[in-house]
Structure 1
């Protein structure tokens, strides 16, 4: 080995890491999180003098041995879930995060029959600025942090995406895969979808952007009751990708408010 070659950060106990094999019944947990969420976890791990991975394992261990109760954990998770949720779900949640037959405060307009129902597409929210049939700006959505929420910052905003940044790679691939020549000039809020984004539940062949104001399919005669929506969503076919189940419904009020309900909120499988 060339002693002059630049070396990376040395690992702790590399011999052990190179030979360690997990037990047969173990599995690896992988999750995508935002930069802010990662920083928050790293701060807690630093205070505990451990790694984020060990922090998660410690939590799981506490649950498995009963030193942390599910009630203690769920109370905190519900708080985090409410902060994370960008568009409110129209029903309150009960045990196991499934919705219950109780309209969520602020969503009364849905049950009054107001608003248009469209298919909920599960991707990444992006905003494109169009000029003369060309994309001149690409932005991604940024949501307020927990501290900002406490300070009264409720609504999210858009920041410029980085064409050369690793985390925005698939956004720009979706932009390049979208024909915008017929789009009117202006800013368009879109959903980036495809094989590399959010698991590609609709089985799309390529990454692309779908504009909310131009192409999102609408549904007529959507029920507005708990039982009605539960039955309606169980077998609702996607109008954007026929042959695949729709993820859910987003209700759009004329004044800009939105509210949602998803298949899995009722416990329907994929």
Structure 2
């Protein structure tokens, strides 16, 4: 007859779940990822027979121990960054992911002097729908996955935010912090900005949305050559947050095309 095992030492408070306390000095890292990126991480984790958290820790441990070289990882990161790019950058990139003096063919209209230059704001792309001066809908941008791109789906779309979704918390805070009473009825693409969005490079003290079709800061007489843009962006002050450097410039064509260039795109030694 099989011997019956005891229940072991009881918890002090049976109603509370056991809690793991990290060692002193440890930190927790959090990153927002798309559903497609999350699936890709889970797929690798399943193949490695570990959790996603352990997958990330294993990578960090490999770097710390030298079994994974920075050069190996940097190459993969740069390829991933190229996949994430939504608006084309004006120039081609080198192996170090810095731009070189070779214009991209699809951006020829910029070098022909067409389009308006506006400040590139580093936030999250959203869309606000306004009716009778009231905010009635908040959406966030979604871009096609690699599999969808392979099927010919190249344009992104907007998806509804959810009140109970943790990943939408700060987008909704930015939407509610935006005064839309004077906006015309319609859908307004915006950049959500603020202390808890994209590291807050402009040092803002509140969350808000800046509509591209109404308030995007415009720059006049912007150079449109490699050397001219490199020098211009090195000292370009933000029109939205004076005193801070602008992240870059987005050129807008009347037909809806866009192209961008950021200060950090250029080689540091140039």
Category of TM-score, reference length = shorter chain: 0.7 to 0.9
List per-residue Cα deviations over 1:22-43 (Å, max 9, x = no partner). 6xxx876553322321221121
Equivalent in the alignment of 1:99: 99
CA distance in 2, matches of 1:160, 1:41: 24
For 1:94-243, list aligned pairs within 5 A: 94-243=94-243
Residues 92 and 61 of structure 1: CA distance in aligned 2, closer, same or farther (over 3 Å): farther
What is the rounded CA distance, in whole Å, between the counterparts of 1:65 and 1:207 in structure 2?
A: 40
**Alpha-carbon distance in structure 2 between the residues aligned to 1:188 and 1:49:** 45
Secondary structure of 2:96's counterpart equals helix
| Residue aligning to 2:4 | none
**What is the alpha-carbon distance in structure 2 between the residues aligned to residue 64 and residue 201 of structure 1?**
28
Distance 1:47 1:240, change over 3 A: same
User: TM-score normalised to the size of structure 2?
Assistant: 0.85
Matched with 2:82 is: 82
Could you list the per-position Cα deviations for residues 30-61 of structure 1 after superposition, in whole angstroms to 9, with x for gaps in the alignment? Answer: 53322321221121011011233443454456
Q: Does 1:46 align with 2:37?
A: no
Query: Whose Rg is larger?
Result: 2
> Residues 56, 93 of structure 1: CA spacing in aligned structure 2 closer, same or farther, 3 A cutoff?
farther
1:196, distance to aligned residue in structure 2 (A): 1.6
Offset of 1:73 from its aligned partner?
4.8
Going from structure 1 to structure 2, the CA distance change for 1:79 and 1:184 (only over 3 Å counts) comes to same
Distance 1:120 1:183 in 2: 22
Q: Is the 8 A contact 2:129 2:136 kept in 1?
A: yes
CA distance in structure 2 between the aligned counterparts of 1:181 and 1:115, rounded to whole angstroms: 29
Query: Using a 3 Å threshold, how does the CA distance of structure 1 residues 99 and 137 change in structure 2: closer, same or farther?
Result: same
**RMSD of the TM alignment (CA)?**
2.5
Displacement of 1:126 in angstroms is 0.8
Cα deviation for residue 261 of structure 1 reads 0.5
Q: Deviations over 1:141-188 (max 9, x none)?
A: 111111111111111100111123211111111111111111011110
User: For the structure 1 residues 185 and 242, does the alpha-carbon distance in structure 2 shift closer, same or farther, using more than 3 Å as the test?
Assistant: same
CA deviations on 1:69-94 (whole Å, 9 max, x unpaired) are 66765554444223211111111111
Q: Tell me, which stretches of 5 or more residues in structure 2 are unaligned? A: 1-11
What are structure 1's unaligned runs of at least 5 residues? Answer: none
SS at match of 2:181: coil
Paired positions, count: 258
Q: TM-score, normalised by structure 1?
A: 0.85
